[in-house]
Amino acid sequence: MIAGAGVVGLGTALLLCRDGHDVTVLERDAEAPPAGTDAIWESWQRKGVNQFRLPHFFLARYRRLLSTELPDVAEALAAAGAIRLNTVLDAPETVRGPARDDDGAFEVISARRCVVEAAVASVAERSPRLEIRRGAPVAGLVTGPAARDDVPHVVGVGLATGEEIAADLVVDMTGRRSPLPRWLEAIGARAPRDELDDCGFVYYGRHFRSASGDIPPSIGGFLQHLGTISSLTLPADNGTWSVTLVTSAQDKALRALHNAETWEKTMRSLPLVAHWLDGEPIDDRVMAIAGIEDRHRNLMVGGTPVATGVVAAGDAWACSNPSVGRGVSIGMLQATVLRDTISATGLEDPWEFACSFHDATADIVEPWYRDTLAADRHRLAEIDALIEGKEYRPADPGWEVSQALTAAALKDPDCLRGFVTVAMVLSRETDVLSGPGMLEKVTALGGDWRDEPIPAPSREELPSTVAYG
Ligand SMILES: Cc1cc2nc3c(=O)[nH]c(=O)nc-3n(C[C@H](O)[C@H](O)[C@H](O)COP(=O)(O)OP(=O)(O)OC[C@H]3O[C@@H](n4cnc5c(N)ncnc54)[C@H](O)[C@@H]3O)c2cc1C
């Protein structure tokens, strides 16, 4: 049983069904996706997902998973008008060098978030062994005899209507605002260990559409750190794309970005980004989101599970700074870990399963969360330093080399592929840099990254800062 029919929840359900399990997905929101991308964008009500109409981009790791595990979802996405692009081969040949045999790994299939979710849902809804019940909010957990040591053992869930649904395993996939700690408390379980942090960024984004169906060219990358702001320019489906400015929540001077006119002036002041505004806005205002938590939930406390028969996955397990676009790729990576752990360990011994799933998640998935968290903290500290007019020089060689890799990506085809490999969640930075000669090359070509000009007005000249006065 899966609580939550979000984009990762449904993807997880599909993986489990195809491995021979019967899966019921219980979703709080009542509405199924309407037919047609315009209706999906304009009218599908998804109050359960705050970021439902905010800019998203789906990375090569997700595309690879769809190609190998869920090709019918990739087909549904293509049919819905998703864009396919190659994050290396689409760069100028002067930067990427000649095409290589394995460059297909960098291919991406992406679309607006609601369009991707509708495509996954369309496949899930006709999938054998899978039942989706919408308008069925889970209200709590149901327990049976403990598997071991008086630790509560979950055997199903209770709905708000009082109905109880039995399950061999309950997977909490209710997203960033998962109520699992409350549910666990109600069955007498120890509290899970939550690490919580407001990730400290604010997003100001809009979507556009071109009359021709063309998408503006990316110059300088989808994500650019431009002093105290970052820009995100993300191609999507059916000639649409999104443009976002990301700032620190502490940066009061930039709050004027809520205002559409100030937002546009600020965007137009960025030479590598301004051309992304040349389309028709398809949302009626600048969409802002703040208070997005970095959160990691651990159901193993003191070396033992707080409960058996229940696990957390997707954003309900961990969520972090969305500007790097990793949430769905990391969530679906964990979905494969869940499927493989069930297959290897079985569910007959719930204690063993809980420990095995925890260990496999910690080994395979958590490092991606930790890397993202570390990068977020550096970026926020860098913004704070820049606001004060100081240079950010942390005593962390990992951060230095990461910045050097970003700078070297524009100067060397190997460094470009190394950078994109990390950005697309294909391999971690430590693995990329341990390749033959990579660290030396990155240091030689990118070590002077602080001297690179920033293609943006100074902070004092930014229209949003000027508007603040
Ligand atoms: C601003 C922003 C931008 C982002 N951009 C990107 C991006 O570019 N690329 C990327 O990969 N990721 C991005 N993410 C992250 C991505 O949105 C999440 O990783 C993804 O939605 C997680 O999917 P999920 O299925 O785990 O949870 P969700 O999509 O949050 O779904 C949870 C579901 O649970 C349901 N639910 C809640 N409570 C209950 C209940 N009691 N009973 C039943 N159902 C319940 C909700 O209604 C919802 O449908 C972004 C996030 C934010 C905040």
Mean pLDDT of the chain: 95
Q: Which atom of ligand 1 is nearest to the CA of 59?
A: 11
Q: What pLDDT does 413 receive?
A: 98
Residue 342 half-sphere exposure, CB side, CA atoms within 13 Å?
Answer: 22
Is the per-residue pLDDT at 181 higher than 80?
yes
Please say whether the beta carbons of 59 and 167 come within 8 A.
no
Residue 403 has which token pair? 């910045």
The CA 6 to ligand 1 mean position distance, Å, reads: 6
User: What whole-number distance in Å separates Cα of residue 130 and Cα of residue 389?
Assistant: 56
- For residue 4 and ligand 1, the question of a CB distance below 6 A is answered with yes
Q: Whose CA is closest to 114, among 182, 26, 51?
A: 51
Is the per-residue pLDDT at 468 higher than 70?
no
The CA 26 to ligand 1 mean position distance, Å, reads: 15
Pairing of β 223-226 and β 280-281: unpaired
Q: What pLDDT does 320 receive?
A: 85
Alpha carbon 274 to its chain's center: 25
Q: Which atom of ligand 1 is nearest to the CA of 327?
A: 19
- For residue 130 and ligand 1, the question of a CB distance below 6 A is answered with no
Q: Is 57 left (phi over 0), alpha (psi -120 to 50) or beta?
A: beta
The CA 329 to ligand 1 mean position distance, Å, reads: 12
- For residue 137 and ligand 1, the question of a CB distance below 6 A is answered with yes
What pTM value is reported for the model?
0.97
311-359 pLDDT tens trace = 999 999 999 878 899 999 999 999 999 999 999 999 999 999 999 999 9
Q: Which atom of ligand 1 is nearest to the CA of 139?
A: 41
Mean pLDDT of 219-234: 94
27-52 pLDDT tens trace = 999 999 999 999 999 999 999 999 99
From 141-150, 193-202, 225-234, the region with the lowest mean pLDDT: 193-202
User: What whole-number distance in Å separates Cα of residue 310 and Cα of residue 299?
Assistant: 9
Residue 98 has which token pair? 């000649």
- For residue 175 and ligand 1, the question of a CB distance below 6 A is answered with yes
Q: How confident is the model at residue 466 (pLDDT cuts 50, 70, 90)?
A: low
Residue 85 has which token pair? 């692009």
- For residue 3 and ligand 1, the question of a CB distance below 6 A is answered with yes
- For residue 398 and ligand 1, the question of a CB distance below 6 A is answered with no
Q: What pLDDT does 360 receive?
A: 98
| Paired strand residues for 370 | none
- For residue 56 and ligand 1, the question of a CB distance below 6 A is answered with yes
Is the per-residue pLDDT at 447 higher than 90?
yes
Ligand 1 mutation pick, 173, 296, 368, max ligand atoms within 8 A of CB: 173
Q: Which atom of ligand 1 is nearest to the CA of 56?
A: 8
The CA 176 to ligand 1 mean position distance, Å, reads: 7
